[in-house]
Amino acid sequence: MSLASKTLFVTGASRGIGLAIALRAARDGANIAIAAKTVKPDPRLPGTIFSAAEEIEKAGGKALPLPCDIRDEQSVETSVAETVARFGGIDVLVNNASAISLTGTLQTPMKRFDLMNQINARGTFMVSQKCIPHLLKAGNPHVLNLSPPLDFDVKWFANHPAYTLAKYSMSVYAWAMAEEFKGQIAFNCLWPRTGIATAAIANVLGGDEGMKRCRKPEIMADAAYAILSRPAKDCTGNFFIDDEVLAAEGVTDLDRYAVSPGTPLMPDFFVPSPGARTVVGRG
């Protein structure tokens, strides 16, 4: 199944994984609504909604750059309305926008706590809510949250409880809505097994050395494409890991995704250990 002429509403699509997913869909000739905050270049963060739009158009898609703050209800409603006015509807929602702070209880300022919950939890819920009426009219509607399996091993909470709970909220909403809209809209989560070479790795987790131990965003884009190409009624309520999705598609050589082939890879947070019994919603 192709994404040609399908309309994707992608939050945080000005860079990183969100942009990679948009570009992969654009190669099919998809329409992409780039819902993100970055309008002016930031020296710390590559890309704006306008530079992303240029890349998407060059890749073969149609782009609609939307200055959108997913913490603001009016901003989201306006962006959704403009997308529908331009492209006639919404077929796919990718909830990619997220905030991170790997800090303990005493080290987490409430301003940062609020930011993570406003973007990760409230933002994901709100964007989903505003898109669902349009998704219900689509032929093969999908919502994909870039969030982890719900592994409730306490090791994932102990060192950064605020971030973990905010990030897990995205997964809980997908899990719940998959059941709420069963047979109507597919809701799934996708998470990487390893670190992905994005601004978060460069600025927060490991700098240049950390980037060498990552895979490129394209692995997430290819996995997302595979999920979004599946029949919605047969593919919902899943917590996918990127390389497992690709293995099911017959892709087993992952060296092309490595930033530095041969360098040991950085494992990502929240990936359950083999045989873990603390995982919710995953067989």
Strand-pairing partners, residue 45, are 42
Burial environment of residue 123 by CB neighbours within 10 A (0 to 12, 13 to 18, 19 or more): buried
Q: From CA 173, how far away is CA 188, in angstroms rounded?
A: 10
**Burial group, residue 103, by CB count within 10 angstroms (0-12, 13-18, 19+):** middle
Nearest to residue 12, comparing CAs of 88, 123, 129, 103?
A: 123
Out of 163, 168, 173, 225, the active site residue is 163
257 is catalytic: no
> Largest Cα–Cα distance of the chain, in whole Å?
49
Q: How far is CA 98 from CA 77, 92, 232, in A?
A: 19, 18, 25
In this structure, are residues 19 and 13 in contact, taking their beta carbons and an 8 Å threshold? yes
Known catalytic residues? 163
